[in-house]
């Protein structure tokens, strides 16, 4: 009888101590919510952007990068290619390529966020 009581109290003590020690660790053992990777805009690989040079026509640019996501119907001389990606646990990555046209040819290129 005394042995049963000792085993029972030992079991309760062990469970109590393990519960206290695990409570300080947070919920590391619980499954985490799945966070999706969110991409927005035109995918802008460095190699493709490097091929864009002043003097190119709009159709040549479309052949390399596709149509721009952002277009201003009031100002057709400016094309903005914007890309962002949010990966779970990482800082967001954003890139912007702005092309200015005159007479259907690139006269100015602005790159932001490219290596």
Q: What is the tens place of the pLDDT at every residue in 80-107?
A: 998 888 877 677 788 899 999 999 999 9
Contacts (Cβ under 8 Å, ≥6 apart) of 86: 37, 38, 92
pLDDT of residue 26: 55
pLDDT of residue 23: 60
Q: Give a yes or no: residue 29 inside a domain.
A: no
pTM of the model: 0.64
Instruction: Report the CATH number at residue 66.
Output: 3.30.1450.10
Q: What is the tens place of the pLDDT at every residue in 36-93?
A: 777 788 888 889 999 999 999 999 999 999 998 877 788 889 999 988 888 776 777 8
Domains: count for the chain: 1
Q: Give a yes or no: residue 10 inside a domain.
A: no
Stronger pLDDT, 99 or 29, i.e. the higher one: 99
SS (H, E, C) the chain: CHHHHHHHHHHHHHHHHHHHHHHCCCCCCCCCCCCCCEEEECCCCHHHHHCCCCCCEHHHHHHHHCCCCEECCCCCCEEEEEEEEECCCCCCEEEEEEEEEECCEEEEEEEECCC
Q: Give a yes or no: residue 21 inside a domain.
A: no
Domain that holds residue 107: 38-112
């Amino acid at each position: 009888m005394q042995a049963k009581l000792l085993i029972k109290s030992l079991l309760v003590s062990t469970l109590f101590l393990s519960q206290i020690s695990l409570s300080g660790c947070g919920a590391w053992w619980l499954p985490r919510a799945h966070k999706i990777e969110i991409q927005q805009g035109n995918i802008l690989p460095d190699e493709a952007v490097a091929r864009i040079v002043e003097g190119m026509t709009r159709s040549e640019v479309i052949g390399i990068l596709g149509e721009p996501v952002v277009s201003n119907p009031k100002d057709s001389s400016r094309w903005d290619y914007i890309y962002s990606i949010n990966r779970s646990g990482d800082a967001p990555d954003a890139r912007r390529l702005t092309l200015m046209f005159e007479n259907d040819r690139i006269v100015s290129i602005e790159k932001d966020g490219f290596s």
